[in-house]
């Protein structure tokens, strides 16, 4: 019940685009997708594989989680680039203002 309530809360925070197309298209080729589907349909032989079948329903969660992490990393890098550009522009402005004050005297 708690997971369902959290999912409802998260659903309200999604953008319209995420509600309609929440995930990117698969980057696998058609043959690779068929192979992956065949492997998923096989009866698992190892205990870990049996345990993983219990968590297949969480696949969408992990897709969303990974998408959010990728977006977070992209924003961190963009912020660092913007901060560096801002420092550079401030330095250029400081040099420009120092040049104006020297020439006025």
Per-residue pLDDT of the chain (105 residues; tens, 9 = 90+): 888 788 788 878 877 777 776 566 666 788 888 887 787 777 777 888 777 777 777 777 777 788 889 999 999 999 999 999 999 999 999 999 988 876 555
State the residue range of the domain holding 93.
Answer: 1-103
Count of the separate structural domains present in the chain: 1
**Three-state DSSP class for 15?**
coil
CA-based angle 82:86:90, to the nearest 5? 175
Which sign, positive or negative, has the C-alpha torsion 59, 63, 22, 31?
negative
Both structure tokens of 2: 């708690």
DSSP single-letter state for residue 7: H
Q: Is the pTM of this model over 0.85?
A: no
pLDDT of 102 reads 66
Both structure tokens of 18: 């995420």
Q: Is 44:52 a contact under the CB 8 Å cutoff?
A: yes
Instruction: Report how far apart the first and last C-alpha atoms of the chain are (Å, whole number).
Output: 74
């Amino acid at each position: 019940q708690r997971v369902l309530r959290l999912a409802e809360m998260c659903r309200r925070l999604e953008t319209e685009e995420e509600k309609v197309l929440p995930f990117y298209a698969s980057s696998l080729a058609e043959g690779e997708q068929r192979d992956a589907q065949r492997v998923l349909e096989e009866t698992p032989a190892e205990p870990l594989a049996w345990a993983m079948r219990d968590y297949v329903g969480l696949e969408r969660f992990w897709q969303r989680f990974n998408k959010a992490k990728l977006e977070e990393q992209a924003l961190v890098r963009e912020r660092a680039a913007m901060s560096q550009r801002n420092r550079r522009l401030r330095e250029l402005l400081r040099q420009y203002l120092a040049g104006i004050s020297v020439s006025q005297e």
